[in-house]
């Protein structure tokens, strides 16, 4: 399945885009998504390790299984306020 991943702030600057597409096997977890992102976009690796993953507007843990219809985003450390 192809997952579109939204990127924000320094994450989108490092990747050069506010959205990337990634091919994952069906049943892939958030942990697998992280490995693939880090592998394909080495520049984001360091910030990714300090970032959370959101699925459908909620924070997701490493074991969460992705669906092709999920809205997925990388959430780097927030700095609102």
Partner 1 sequence: MFHLTREAIDYATLTEAVRSPRCGAVVLFLGTVRDLTGEQVTVFLDYEAYAPMAEKKLAEIEAEVRRRWPVGEVALVHRLGRLAVGEVSVAVAVSCPHRREAFAACQFAIDTLKQLVPIWKRENAPDGRGEWVHQSVSADVACSPAQEQP
Q: Is 47 a binder of partner 1 (CB under 8 A)? A: yes
Shortest distance (Å) from residue 14 CB to partner 1: 10
Q: Does 54 bind partner 1 (CB under 8 A)?
A: yes
Residue from 2, 25, 26, 58 in contact with partner 1 (CB under 8 A): 58
Q: 42-47 long-range CB contacts below 8 Å, 24 or more apart?
A: 43/14, 43/15, 44/7, 44/11, 44/14, 44/15, 44/74, 47/10, 47/11, 47/14, 47/76
Q: Contact residues for partner 1 (CB under 8 A)?
A: 6, 8-10, 13, 47, 49-52, 54, 57-61, 73, 75-81
């Amino acid at each position: 399945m192809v997952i579109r991943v939204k990127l924000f702030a320094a994450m989108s600057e490092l990747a050069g885009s506010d959205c990337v597409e990634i091919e994952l096997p069906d049943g892939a977890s958030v942990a697998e998504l992280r490995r693939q992102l880090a592998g394909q976009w080495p520049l984001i690796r360091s910030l990714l390790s300090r970032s959370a993953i959101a699925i459908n507007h909620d924070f997701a843990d490493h074991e969460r299984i992705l669906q092709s219809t999920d809205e997925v985003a990388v959430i780097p450390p927030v700095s609102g306020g």
